[in-house]
Amino acid sequence: MVLVLLGITFVSSAAVGFVYRVTEEPIEQAKQANVKSALAEVLPAFDESVSQELVLDELALTVHTATQQGQTVGYAVETATKNGFSGLIRMMVGFDAEGNVLNVKVLEHNETPGLGSKMADEGNPLLTSFQGKNPASMKLSVRKDGGEVDALTAATISSRAYVDAVARAYNAYLQASGNEGTDVTTGATGQHAQQEGESYE
């Protein structure tokens, strides 16, 4: 019986390893295609981009510096936050050369369908609160917390997480661009929202 169990374990492990090797490259290719598509959505036209890896608040971020004929036209930051209602949220935030938000693309989330998931919808209140604005000139929190960002209806925790990710992206932009400026912070987290007794996101 022990030999049979060992045989089954060996065969299962080999099968899992084989499947991983077969799917690893297609998964990586799909991920790179997703990033390339997101860059096109959050940046103005560019002919070249250079990537730089940063770590802020123990989260890995990637800053893509985009140029057109050698002139910097914008920065796209792959940012993240762990403060979502359902955990990790990954986003791509595009900035022009002066630090104004051009666009935001949600890359990954597990937020509640119909509530927090609306952060990925085109023209949602979170996005429109940021587009065309420099985060350094804003009070970076949702209006419920006294800030300037319009939250998603019944999804306060998700909205706070979105703001947190954008703030982290802006700080990465400052670091990568060398522009003078003070790091921005947000004044709320998902934990804070739960302590307030909210029964929704």
- The pLDDT assigned to 191 comes to 40
Who's near 191: CB < 8 A, 6+ residues apart?
Answer: 83
In a domain, 96, yes or no: yes
C-alpha separations of 153 from 114, 127, 142, 159, 161 in Å: 10, 14, 11, 9, 14
Range of the domain at 96: 43-195
pTM of the predicted model, to two decimals?
Answer: 0.78
Structure tokens at 73: 């036209």
The predicted structure's pLDDT at residue 190: 39
In tens, the pLDDT along 92-150 reads: 999 999 999 999 999 999 999 999 999 999 899 999 999 999 999 999 899 999 999 99
> How many domains does the chain contain in total?
1
Does residue 2 form part of some domain? no
In a domain, 87, yes or no: yes
83 lies in some domain: yes
Q: Specify if 22 maps to a domain.
A: no
Q: Which tokens hold the place of 41?
A: 């959505």
Kindly give the parts of the chain with pLDDT less than 70.
20, 24-25, 27-32, 180-182, 186-201
Identify any residues that bridge with 60 across adjacent strands, giving them in sequence order: 55
DSSP 8-state symbol, 163: H
What's the pLDDT score for residue 188?
Answer: 47
In a domain, 147, yes or no: yes
Residue of 132, 196, 121, 201 whose CA lies nearest to 160:
201
> What is the distance between the alpha carbons of residues 163 and 142, in angstroms, rounded to a whole number?
8
Considering the domain boundaries, does residue 18 fall inside one?
no
Per-residue model confidence (pLDDT) at position 27? 63
